Amino acid sequence: ETGVTQSPTHLIKTRGQQVTLRCSSQSGHNTVSWYQQALGQGPQFIFQYYREEENGRGNFPPRFSGLQFPNYSSELNVNALELDDSALYLCASSLEAGPLNEQFFGPGTRLTVL
C-alpha cells in the first residue's frame, strides 16, 4: 500500500499568480484534509473533503479552494497569491471523516511566493 504523495515538491510563484497543488491519498481513503504550515508554526487546517464534498473549513479566504476526485486524488487551488501564502502545504488522508480516524500525511509542497 503506497502512502500519501504530493506534487510538486517545491514551487516558486509570484504575487497575483494562481497555483494548483496535488495530493494522492491512500487507496480507499474517502477523506482528505489540507493544511498550511508557515515557518516556525504548526499546521493550520484549511479545509477537508469527504467523498468529493467540502466537509469543514478553517479560517482561510475563498481564494483557497479544493477539489477531490473519485480516484483518491485531490487538489488545492490558491488564486491571487500573496507573499504570506509562502508555506509548506500538507495534505492528509483518512479512511473516513471524524477525529478517531487516523490522518496520514504527505511530505508536503513547499510554496514560495515572490
Partner 1 sequence: DQQVKQNSPSLSVQEGRISILNCDYTNSMFDYFLWYKKYPAEGPTFLISISSIKDKNEDGRFTVFLNKSAKHLSLHIVPSQPGDSAVYFCAAIYFGNEKLTFGTGTRLTIIP
In angstroms, rounded to a whole number, what is the distance separating the alpha carbons of residues 78 and 85? 9
Residue selected from 24, 30, 74, 103 as contacting partner 1 according to rule CB under 8 A:
103
Report the alpha-carbon distance of residue 88 to residue 44 in Å, rounded: 10
Give the position of cell 510538486: 8
The closest of 80, 79, 74, 31 to 56, measured between CA atoms, is: 31
32-61: contacts with partner 1 (CB under 8 A): 33, 35, 40-45, 48, 55-56, 58
Q: How far is residue 52's CA from residue 25's CA, in Å, rounded to a whole number?
A: 13
Most distant CA pair in the chain, distance:
39
Q: Does 2 participate in binding partner 1 (rule CB under 8 A)?
A: no
Of 70 and 99, the one with the shorter C-beta distance to partner 1 is: 99
105 counts as binding partner 1 under rule CB under 8 A: yes
The SS3 of residue 101 is coil
The distance of closest approach from Cβ of residue 61 to partner 1 in the complex, given in angstroms and rounded to an integer, is 16
The nearest distance, CB 17 to partner 1, in angstroms, is: 25
Query: Can residue 100 be called a binding residue for partner 1 (CB under 8 A)?
Result: yes
Contact positions vs partner 1 (CB under 8 A): 4, 33, 35, 40-45, 48, 55-56, 58, 90, 92, 97-100, 102-108
